[in-house]
Amino acid sequence: MKARVHVMLKNGVLDPQGEAVRHALGAMGFDGVQGVRQGKVIELDLAEGSSEADVTMMCEKLLANTVIESYTVEIA
């Protein structure tokens, strides 16, 4: 079983990496970009019998800083 976790900073949390990317894109001539939020994708190969609840617990304990980040889980 595979799981994909998308982690993003919550709205209202400053994203300096996203701002650096936005600025760099503007410098390259891509003037239409008004904002960038950068996150991460974590792909997990899970043993049979693992559940979405297991992945959620992983996110809560390690994969996401739930104070400043939100996450979504996809099971495939």
* Amino acid 35: pLDDT: 96
Model confidence at 3, pLDDT cuts 50, 70, 90, reads: very high
21-34 mean pLDDT = 97
Can you list the pairs that 37-43 forms with residues at least 24 positions away whose Cβ atoms lie under 8 Å? 37/8, 37/9, 38/9, 39/6, 39/7, 39/8, 39/9, 39/69, 40/6, 40/7, 41/4, 41/5, 41/6, 41/7, 42/4, 42/5, 42/7, 43/2, 43/3, 43/4, 43/5
The domain of 66 spans 2-75
* Amino acid 50: pLDDT: 95
Model confidence at 44, pLDDT cuts 50, 70, 90, reads: very high
The residues, any chain, with a CB within 8 Å of residue 23's CB and separated by 6 or more, are: none
The domain tally of the chain equals 1
CATH code of the domain covering residue 27:
3.30.1280.10
